[in-house]
């Protein structure tokens, strides 16, 4: 359930709040990102993720996808996959990806 995911993402310093709701059969998760933690919540950028869970025998995965993000970024993807290996051992894979706008990519390369 998204409540647990909200507990995890609130550990990040730029995430000020997290809300969730179910629309039809889909969970929607909204993260409120700020530049500095002391910034007011009203100034936060709202990232709207679609939350999905996949469960099969011996496999568990959570995926969150947001079409838009701050600074003209797009296609934000967060994934968590869990697979038990044997007694006492579990493989966990966490991933995050996004796309920059051409201008954002240029500016990022120019400052590095």
Residue 48 contacts residue 27 (beta carbons within 8 Å):
no
55-106 confidence digits (pLDDT tens): 888 889 999 999 998 878 899 999 999 999 988 899 999 999 999 888 777 7
The C-alpha torsion from 66 through 24 and 14 to 77, rounded to 10°, is -30
Residue 81: the pLDDT is 94
- The two three-digit tokens of residue 70, written as one number: 């701050």
Whether pLDDT at 1 is above 80: no
Which sequence spans correspond to the domains of the chain? Answer: 2-111
2-111, CATH topology level: Alpha-D-Glucose-1,6-Bisphosphate; Chain A, domain 4 (3.30.530)
CA–CA distance, 25 with 3 (Å, rounded to integer): 16
Residue 17: the pLDDT is 87
C-alpha dist (Å) from residue 103 to 26, 47, 66, 75:
33, 20, 20, 16
Whether pLDDT at 37 is above 70: yes
92-102 confidence digits (pLDDT tens): 999 999 998 88
């Amino acid at each position: 359930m998204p409540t647990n995911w909200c507990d995890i993402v609130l550990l990040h310093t730029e995430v000020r709040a997290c809300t969730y709701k179910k629309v039809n059969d889909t969970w929607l998760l909204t993260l409120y990102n700020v530049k500095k933690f002391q910034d007011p919540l009203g100034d936060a950028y709202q990232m709207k993720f679609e939350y999905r869970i996949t469960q099969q025998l011996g496999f568990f995965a959570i995926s969150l996808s947001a079409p838009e993000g701050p600074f003209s970024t797009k296609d934000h993807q967060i994934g968590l996959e869990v697979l038990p290996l044997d007694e006492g051992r579990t493989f966990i894979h966490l991933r995050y990806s996004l796309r920059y706008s051409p201008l954002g990519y240029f500016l990022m390369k120019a400052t590095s």
